[in-house]
Structures are given as C-alpha cells and as structure tokens.
Amino acid sequence: MANLIAVTSLVGHSLAATLVLFSLACSDSTSPDAPVLIEPAAQMVQTVQVPRTVQLTTDGGGRGVLWTSSNPRVAIVSNSGLVKTLFPGTTTITARRGSHSDAVSLTAVAARLDVGPNAASVAVHRTAVLRAIARDADGAQLLDVPMRWTSENARIASVDASTGAVQGVTPGVATISVEGGGATASLTVTVTPAERFTLTIDAAGMGNGTVRVADGGINCVIAASATSGACVGTYEWGTTVTLVATPGGAGHAFVSWARGCVGTAATCVVTIYESQTVVATFGKRLEFGRIGADSPSPVYSSSPGAGEHLK
C-alpha cells in the first residue's frame, strides 16, 4: 500500500485510476510458470448432481491456465474452469500452468432412483423382476447406469445383484435395496405361499397296474381303464415328481405314457408348473404269437379289439 501511495503522489492522478492501473499491473505480472492452486477447496466440489455445473478458479487469475478432465464422459471443463457433469462417475479436474498443476477429484451423481413395482409380491419358488431408473437433477432418465441390488433378508427373498430378479424363499416381507449412479432407493417385497397344482393320473388300455410316487401322494390303482385309490396329488410350483408304473401281475404289462408324460419306460419325471393329467396305458395278454420258427412272444391288448406287441 505504501508503494501505491507513492505512485499516486508522484503522478497526481485520482486514487481510483491508480488502483485500476495497479490491478492491471499485478495481472500482467503473473508468470507463465507461476504455481497454480485450484479454488474452491476440493471438499467443496466433491459431489455434484448431473447435469449441474461448478465454477473452479485458480489463485493468481486464469492467465495461461489449461483445464482438463480425466473422464469427459463424466464431466467436461471449459477454458475458464466451468465444470459440467454429464454422467454418474468420478473424474479428476486438472489445472496446469507451465510446469505447475493442481487437481481436484469430482464425483457426479444421479439425483434419484425410481424403483418399482410399488406393490411388489412374489410366491415362494417364483421370480419377479424389479426395475430401477436413474434420473438427473432435471428429472431426465440416465441410461446405462449400472445397478447393484441387495436383500436385507435373503431368508425371505433373495435378489440377483445385477438384474434385480427377486425369488421368493419363504412367506414374509423383505426389503430390497438398490444403488446406482451414487443414489440409493429401496422397496418392500411380499412373499406369498407357494402356488399349488394338481397332478391327476388317468388310465387307458385293457390291462391292470398301479402308478405311484415314491415319496407318497399318489398310489393309483388301474384296472381295465378304470382308476381307484389316490390318483390325484397336490404339489407346489416347481416340484419334480417321479411316477412309477407297475404292471398288475402276470398277463399284464405297462405300455406307454401320454399327455403329461411320454415314452414307454416304466418311470416318468414331471415338473409341476400347472395342473395337469398323465395317462398311463396298461395292456392285457391276449395270445402267444411267433417270431421265427420257435420263438413265442406274448401279444398284449391296449384297447378293445387291438393288440400291441411288447418286446
């Protein structure tokens, strides 16, 4: 200030004019290789919502300063140090003057996540897919923002971390949370009891036999296309059921499955996704035919007036 007063008294100009000249002189005196310090401090610009801006400056003015962003997809910076965020993520903003530089780390974040459906529910063993949409500070959707899903109670409902597919484990209510683009959200999922469906055994053919399930539930007696006993079982969705057909003694043979099962093997595996019917056909021996000169082979009838040869 003493120098300023001396200049004022020697020149005789107004104080205001002298201050302007002094200010210009200071600006012009900035060395092209002077140290550079970004302002404001890093903690003031750590997190910025997309698509907002923040103005950075350097001490000593902006003369000769080159600004760069290490990740232009996340944020860009102008020649004057104005930063605009574009997509959630982290970038480093660097100011360089000559051989000197300073940098700040900036994190761009989504303003919110919209999750749904609002009243989500899923049955035990079943799957429901949740959705999350990232939005910026203006409400616009941000595309391709990775999401990470978690369940606060995986014993009730589990969730795929990347797809948001929820599977019911046991009846109850679970909170599912999601994080993406620096924003978080959560919703509750109600798990209902498993859906149950019926498996019905029907009969065809002239023979006798039984169809049963090894672990119980079905033990169906078949006699000449008529059924009796436990011929209907009830199972939870997704249950695998193995049916076993047994001929009803000498002169009878199992022929084939139809509808819910196919093939001629004595066992058939059915996975329950809906109510369904399985038809078991048993044949009754009618006579002995011949294959070749001395090879008797039994012939069975699976329907009135018709025969089927079983090897």
pLDDT at 31: 65
**Residue 204 burial (CB count, 10 A):** 18
Q: Using alpha carbons, list the distances in angstroms from residue 302 to 205, 281, 283, 305.
A: 4, 7, 4, 9
- Please state, in angstroms and rounded to a whole number, the distance separating the CA atoms of residues 308 and 271: 29
User: What does the pLDDT average to over 169-177?
Assistant: 97
Confidence of residue 4 (pLDDT cuts 50, 70, 90): very low
Please give the helix or strand (H or E) that residue 183 lies within, else none: strand 183-192
**Taking 80 as the threshold, does the pLDDT of residue 62 lie above it?**
no
Chain-centre distance for alpha carbon 290:
63
- HSE of 27 in the Cβ direction (CA atoms, 13 Å)? 9
Q: Which two tokens stand for residue 255?
A: 């022929």
Chain-centre distance for alpha carbon 42:
35
- Please state, in angstroms and rounded to a whole number, the distance separating the CA atoms of residues 34 and 59: 10
pLDDT at 11: 31
User: What are phi and psi for residue 3, nearest 5 degrees?
Assistant: -65, -40
Nearest alpha-carbon partner for 243 in 255, 233, 253: 233
User: What does the pLDDT average to over 161-186?
Assistant: 97
pLDDT of 12-58, one tens digit each?
333 232 223 233 334 444 566 677 788 766 556 689 999 999 999 99
pTM here? 0.68
Confidence of residue 297 (pLDDT cuts 50, 70, 90): low
